[in-house]
Amino acid sequence: MCMSIRSKKGMTLVEVVVSMVIVTIAVVSLFAAVTQSSVLSKRSGMGYTLTNIALRRIEVLKRLDSDMLPFAEESGIQVSSDGNVSSTGEYFRTTEITQNYNANPYLTKAKVTARKVKLGTDGTITTPLAYQGDPVVIETIIADI
């Protein structure tokens, strides 16, 4: 009867190293997933804010008299996250108005573009102006009935 020199109690160094490698791979994968989720969440939140800024502007334009719509055109207006004009806002909004849309004197096309600007390390807007992510563009047709 041959007795094994190796004891069945405990783990060998190879088994410990292999298990540590497996745990490390799992932790690194989990960390990567959490980081990616955070990035996507931030991007989604920015898109939501930009959409709300543009939609709020469209709603304001719909309430204007058709004679006032041409005066609602704006370019690069700095706004806050709620769409109100603000000198400290991180967002820029542009409104384009096209009267007599499709050769119809009763139709006006309104196009609103909202963008987020990149901020410097000190929290101020960078110069020259740089944008973060894609803009949100919303168009609508306003009928003068």
Q: Please give the residue range of the domain that contains residue 51.
A: 14-143
**Nearest-angstrom CA–CA distance, 49 and 117:** 13
- What pLDDT does 2 receive? 55
Say if 6 falls within a structural domain.
no
Q: Count structural domains, the chain.
A: 1
DSSP 103: G
C-alpha–C-alpha distance, residues 52 and 55, integer Å: 5
pLDDT by residue, tens only, the chain of 145 residues = 555 555 567 778 888 899 999 999 999 999 888 888 887 777 778 889 999 999 999 999 999 998 899 999 999 899 998 899 988 888 999 999 999 999 999 999 999 999 998 877 777 777 777 888 889 999 999 998 7
Is the residue at 7 inside a domain? no
At position 59, the amino acid (one-letter code) is E
Give dist(CA 60, CA 67) in Å, integer: 14
The per-residue pLDDT for 4 is: 56
Q: Would 1 be classed as within a structural domain?
A: no
CB atoms closer than 10 angstroms to residue 112:
23
